[in-house]
Structure 1
Amino acid sequence: MCPVCNEAADTIMHILVQCKIAKACWQVFNAGTNIEGALKFIDWLAGILEGQSKNSKAKILTLCWSIWRSRNDLVWHNKRWTILRIVAKVWEYLSQWNAAQNRGYSVPLIPTVEGDEATTWVKPQHDTVKITVDASIFQNLGMAGAGIVARNHDGHLILAKSICSPDVMNPTLAEAMAVKEALSWAMEMGWSSITVESDCMVVIQLIWSSTPMRSRLGMVAEE
């Protein structure tokens, strides 16, 4: 049985098209889910992609992936996604993909700063303040939030703060705004030597890009 609705067999056609959760997601996209005579998913997909633009095809395929991810998260981790989260993940995936394909920047294969690519927190250099940022999307509130923590070279907590960004539903943009806030905060505090740390690879790629910052953030916001 379908682990999402428990109302029909757990087939690809049902999970991605016929399940009531899938139908609700497609309605958000204003895309019909009833292709006459389509009994198999591949036939339905061919029908709904016909005549669509490249961008629309990308959104449709990414929504299929997001719905499938939500199904697997429920099966393997007992985590149920809301319809808003499933749809929001589409914009997150597409934003990250488009940013990663941008030819205006590349990420060094070898870390350029001690601690880059570390999976645990690494102390900064002497007399340097490390500011760690992390953003989250609160879909039920229609806003983003971020935590910002500053530590000294001994690893001791100096200060911490949180910020809220109303109407921001793009995870990458939320993380970029948190980094910007961290830099402004450092200036206000008069810290002369700082390191800002983020776990969002896309934001890190954007920072290392040779493209002007205004253009890069505009690209993310439009997604």
Structure 2
Amino acid sequence: MSPEAVMEWSRKQFTDWQEANAKSINSLEVQENTSISDCKWKAPEMGCIKINVDAAVKEGQDWFAIGMVARNHLGHFLGGKTMKLAGRVSVVEVEMVGISEAMSWAIDGIPGDVVVESDSLISVQNVLQAKENLLEIGDLMQQCRDILQENSRLSLSFSRNQANRAAHCMARISCEVNGFMIISSPPSQLLEILLSESSVY
């Protein structure tokens, strides 16, 4: 590489580092300012369905898993979905695949208004802020933006890890099975979480 190219590459790396560092600081500020109520799962508005989604990646494995849970305004379990996909990708990319799959599920299989909720702050921010991303994951982010723009009944939001326990549990279940599964009744591993988060109990 020429000296000019090396300098340009170095400047780009430094700028990227500054942006990533600023995001980390903002994330810490969000954590410090978050109340206890923000750490609990919140039911959607009446008539709306919420899909919580999470992803699981095991180091050294050539696959990743995604888990989704759909609930109504009372916290009642409406359905779940598990997916185990081949590939060794970054955590952010896996989370983006999860968001994309949850949106597709909402469009194809769930009527009415739907909120897709993920605990990946970076993924949610990148989709909602519509910033250009030149990495391969940028195409996936743009796909999610297009889906949101074309479907007014669909929205995307961020939740903290503690408020995304059901999807996290479903993602772990996904690690144990192959392929895709649509679940109509909650598995035993999920019952305690659902009961504790339901407004009925």
TM, length-normalised to structure 2:
0.50
Which of structures 1 and 2 has the bigger CA Rg? 1
Greater RCO (CA < 8 Å, at least 6 residues apart): 2
More strand, by proportion: 2
